Amino acid sequence: MKKIVLTAMVCISIGFAAGWFLFHHQNQPVIKETARKVLYYQNPMNPEMTSPTPKKAPDGMDYVPVYAEAEKPSGQRKIAYYQDPMHPWYTSDKPGKAPDCGMDLVPVYQEDNSAKGIYINPTTVQNIGVTTETISRRKLTKTIRTSAIVEFDETRLYSINTKFMGWVEKLYVDYTGRAVKKGEPLLDLYSPDIVSTQEEYLQALRYRERLQKSELATARREADELVQSTRRRLKYWDITDREIASLTLRGKPGRALTIHSPASGIVTDKMVIDGQQVMPGMTLYKIADLTTVWVTADIYQYELDWIRLGQEVSLEMSYLPEKAIQGTVTYIYPYLDTATRTAKVRIQVLNTPDFDLKPGMFATVKIVSLVSLDDIAVPEQAIIRSGERNVVIISLGGGYFDPRNVRLGASADGFVQILEGVHEDEKVVTSAQFLIDSESNLKASIAGMNQPEKTDKKPEIDPKQVDEFFEDFEPKPVTKSAEEEHKLDGMEMK
């Protein structure tokens, strides 16, 4: 009997222990191990730098994973970026201090619709290669490189002609291109008019000499006036004082008159030959002084503001690469060439002793502007020019971008002056801005389509028109003919 009781007690104990174990495990919560999905990896110091795979940042830190479940709890607002409370145009993607006032940057939240601009996922920003640059003030100086042509100095061109008729007795300069010096004889001319005038002058001298001993003052004065009159006629015909003095000493007229060069230079044109008859006003020679030349450069209209009189210019000649030639801007033409839409700028250059600068040559002109602008400027590649407007993309941080309309100023050194639209210390997008601008235009178009037009005045509706409209939809009684009713009755009977 005792053995049976003991066995029963052992069985009850085992059953109680098994029941407690099963009941305890049924009440325990079941923990399911689920792996979180990694969206991408980002630089912990610069969240804009992302990567689809693990990697190291430039400072050696490991990129941290961003999980799909890493959403903030409901009720907690998500920060888009931070901005300066005193200067809202200054933004940053991480907390910090304002550069001007030193105040803490305040967060801008997405849920409050206070974040302006458009949002692009940081992964997309990384994939399309968006780069930014901080906007700052800088000194702009313009370097203009343009083509030019060497020309004659128009103030050093001479035309040799006579005021009397004659014949060429002898040519001293008998070919084009010869170099002559000032005062060098060019040719001898025989002119009957010059011979007769010389004879009159000599007779007037002899007449005055005879009247020197006369007691009549009037006669002596008239003799002097006659000498001066004939002498004046010789000078009107370009007979020099030296030649008149030689005529006086000689005492007899010369057959031929020698024409001398008025300046040193190069004979560019020779229009006479030996023995030729020449007429008054006929051009005999053209002489150009090439000690200085003009270099005429073509400057576009938008570059004229950078040109000033007295500005130093460097010339580059293709066949003189070893020589540095300098010039000075002396004149800016007051009109534009209608064909090229450029203005002419005259540069005066001192020629080399060997006259290396020859009229008609082409040259490359380099003009470094004396004018400098100290203003806000952005790189030229940051400007989106659509014809009607000029746009830059401002990076606000946190994947937010703000397209801005700007008013442009001068362009120089790869930068464009901004007169209106941006502020200093903002970050401007310098690459892939066309994709961002397209994204902005697309979202603006969609937003415009989703918003119905708002009208302040409600449309006026005539009640009679409403009644007539609903009368058309009221059910009308169906009328049946006798034959149709008979057929229907027969079908019901069947």
- Ranges 18-22, 185-189, 395-399, most confident: 185-189
State how far the Cα of 190 lies from the Cα of 184, in Å rounded to an integer: 18
For 344-396, how does the pLDDT look when each residue is reduced to its tens digit (9 = 90+)? 999 999 998 889 899 999 999 999 887 778 888 999 989 988 778 888 888 88
DSSP state string for 356-415: -S-TT-EEEEEEEEEEEEEEEEEEGGG-EE-SS-EEEEEEEETTEEEEEE-EEEEEETTE
Which percentage of the chain shows pLDDT scores above 90?
29
Give the residue, 330 or 40, on which the prediction is more confident: 330
Enumerate the domain spans of the chain.
37-66, 72-115, 133-138+375-450, 154-288
Give the residue, 445 or 146, on which the prediction is more confident: 146
State how far the Cα of 406 lies from the Cα of 423, in Å rounded to an integer: 11
Residue 132 CB: number of other CB atoms within 10 A?
A: 19
Which residue bears the tokens 């006259």? 355
pLDDT for res 146: 93
State how far the Cα of 449 lies from the Cα of 116, in Å rounded to an integer: 20
Residue 80 CB: number of other CB atoms within 10 A?
A: 24
Residue positions counted in the chain: 494
pLDDT for res 459: 47
Tell me if 108 sits within 8 A of 82, measured CB to CB: yes
Give the residue, 151 or 140, on which the prediction is more confident: 151
For 158-167, how does the pLDDT look when each residue is reduced to its tens digit (9 = 90+)? 999 999 999 9
State how far the Cα of 100 lies from the Cα of 96, in Å rounded to an integer: 12
pLDDT for res 100: 66
State how far the Cα of 396 lies from the Cα of 421, in Å rounded to an integer: 15
State how far the Cα of 488 lies from the Cα of 494, in Å rounded to an integer: 10
Lowest mean pLDDT, pick from 7-16, 57-66, 99-108, 377-386? 7-16
- Would you state the structure tokens that stand for residue 71, as one six-digit string? 């959403």
Helix, strand, or coil here: 346? strand
pLDDT at residue 36 tops 60: yes
212, HSE (Cβ side, Cα atoms, 13 Å): 6
State how far the Cα of 57 lies from the Cα of 182, in Å rounded to an integer: 79
* Strand 292-300 versus strand 320-336 pairing type: unpaired
Give the residue, 25 or 109, on which the prediction is more confident: 109
pLDDT at residue 92 tops 80: no
Residue 206 vs residues 233, 254, 395: alpha-carbon distances, Å: 18, 17, 101
Is domain 133-138+375-450 classified as CATH 3.20.20.70? Answer: no
Tell me if 312 sits within 8 A of 306, measured CB to CB: no
pLDDT at residue 122 tops 60: yes
Tell me if 297 sits within 8 A of 147, measured CB to CB: yes
Lowest mean pLDDT, pick from 34-48, 166-180, 255-269, 318-332? 34-48
Per-residue DSSP letter, 1: -
- Fold matches, 133-138+375-450 and 154-288: no
State how far the Cα of 315 lies from the Cα of 325, in Å rounded to an integer: 5
Which residue bears the tokens 């001298």? 205
pLDDT for res 243: 87
Edge to edge, the sheet with strand 166-171 lists 256-260, 185-190, 166-171, 277-278
For 258-310, how does the pLDDT look when each residue is reduced to its tens digit (9 = 90+)? 999 999 999 999 999 999 999 999 999 999 999 999 999 999 988 888 899 99
Nearest alpha carbon to residue 100 among 424, 390, 463: 424
Domain at 154-288, CATH class? mainly beta
For 167-215, how does the pLDDT look when each residue is reduced to its tens digit (9 = 90+)? 999 999 999 999 999 999 999 999 999 999 999 999 998 888 888 777 7
